Structure 1
Amino acid sequence: MAGDEGGRPSISPTLQYVDAKAAIRQLTEAFGFTTLAVYEAEDGSVAHAELAQGNGAVMLGSKGRGGRFDEAMRNGGPAGVYVVVADVDAHHRRAVEHGAEILMPPTDQDYGSRDYMARDLEGNVWSFGTYAPEVRR
């Protein structure tokens, strides 16, 4: 079954950016993602990139490259992505130090999580918190 072997997550959000290289810098520097792969097209745009956070990953690329996915996402708006982190306050401090736009400071939620929200350079909303959904099989 996908996601069960080799440390590969079974779900990976996929985002497109006008400036994918700037997005990669922000996601790694401000939000602590690790770059797994970046493939550039001949024109220097990002054809495909993979970034990891914990045991999850996000894939991203440059808008306007053509192809079916680019066409399907053409009028797509910003996305929201939730990422589990162990220390919300330390993660938040790092984001602030790197100039991330904070939408909600670290907040204790009624359901037991501690979360904060930030917006990336192109409007996607990233939530970072301690809540991790339990997947039962």
Structure 2
Amino acid sequence: MAGTDAARPTIVPTLLYADAKAAVRQLTEAFGFRALAVHEGEGGTVTHAELAHGNGVVMLGSKGRGGAFDTAMKDAGPAAAYIVVEDVDGHHARAVEQGAEILMPPTDQDYGARDYMARDLEGNIWSFGTYAPEVTH
């Protein structure tokens, strides 16, 4: 039953990239994700990848490899995701060091969080900050 295993996220953003290998490299090297799985197909396409950050996971793959999801995402625009991190300034420094495009430097928000915003190589927006929504049952 969904939601019964605390180690498994129940919401997983899923993205497609023209250059999924470069996306995996940037997300791991600049943004601190950990590659759980990277499966490649013919011609070096990424058929499926899972990257973890804390207890969250994002799945991604290469555009143009066919299938229902690829077709549905054909004309979709960039997506955005918020990732909870403890050390916003340290995380930001790593992203800058790796050449990530920063859209907003670390900023203290009125609601008590501190976060920053970056754009990946294909236009998706990634926010990293201290705000963590609380889910009660």
TM-score by length of 1: 0.97
State the Cα distance separating 1:12 from its structure 2 match.
0.6
Distance (Å, rounded) in 2 between the aligned partners of 1:105 and 1:4: 37
Partner of 1:26: 26
Distance (Å, rounded) in 1 between the aligned partners of 2:28 and 2:20: 12
User: Mind listing any 5+ residue stretches in structure 1 that lack a counterpart?
Assistant: none
The ranges of structure 1 where at least 4 consecutive aligned residues each deviate by more than 4 angstroms after the TM superposition are: none
Q: Which amino acid aligns with 1:121?
A: L
Distance (Å, rounded) in 2 between the aligned partners of 1:92 and 1:118: 9
Partner of 1:48: 48
State the Cα distance separating 1:43 from its structure 2 match.
2.4
Most deviating of 91-100 and 6-15:
6-15
1:47-86 → structure 2 map (5 Å cutoff): 47-86=47-86
Q: Which amino acid aligns with 1:68?
A: A
In the alignment of these two chains, the number of paired residues is: 137
Distance (Å, rounded) in 2 between the aligned partners of 1:78 and 1:20: 14
Identity of aligned residues (%): 75
State the Cα distance separating 1:6 from its structure 2 match.
6.2
Partner of 1:38: 38
Partner of 2:106: 106
Please, what is the CA RMSD of the aligned residues?
Answer: 0.9
User: Mind listing any 5+ residue stretches in structure 2 that lack a counterpart?
Assistant: none
Partner of 1:132: 132
Partner of 2:88: 88
The answer to whether the 8 A contact 1:2-1:9 is kept is no
State the Cα distance separating 1:136 from its structure 2 match.
1.3
The residue matched to 2:89 in structure 1 has which SS?
A: helix
Distance (Å, rounded) in 1 between the aligned partners of 2:112 and 2:46: 38
Q: Which amino acid aligns with 1:10?
A: T
